[in-house]
Amino acid sequence: MAATVAGMTKHELKEIIESTVEQKLLELLGDPDQDLVLKKSVKVRLLRQRKAVASGQRGESLSVIAKRLGLG
C-alpha cells in the first residue's frame, strides 16, 4: 500500500477504513463476559427455559407480539 492517503487508491483507503471501523466495533461491542464461566445452576435454568419456550409453555411468538404492537 502507499505511504500516504494522497497516494492511495479508493479501494485501498476503503479497506483501511473498513478494517479500522471493524476493529473499533469489536473493541467497543465485544463480549465483556467472554472469559467468564457460567455457573451450572444458571446453565440448567437457561436450558429449562429454552425447552419451555420451544414447547410453547412460555413466551409469545413474534407474530403475536407484532400484532399486539400494531406492527403486523
Residue-wise pLDDT tens for the chain (72 aa)?
557 888 889 999 999 999 999 999 988 998 888 889 999 999 999 999 999 988 888 888 888 899 999 997
Q: How far is CA 10 from CA 2, 4, 20, 48, in A?
A: 11, 12, 15, 52
pLDDT score at 4: 85
pTM of the model: 0.42
pLDDT score at 61: 83
Question: Which triple of cell numbers denotes residue 30?
Answer: 465485544
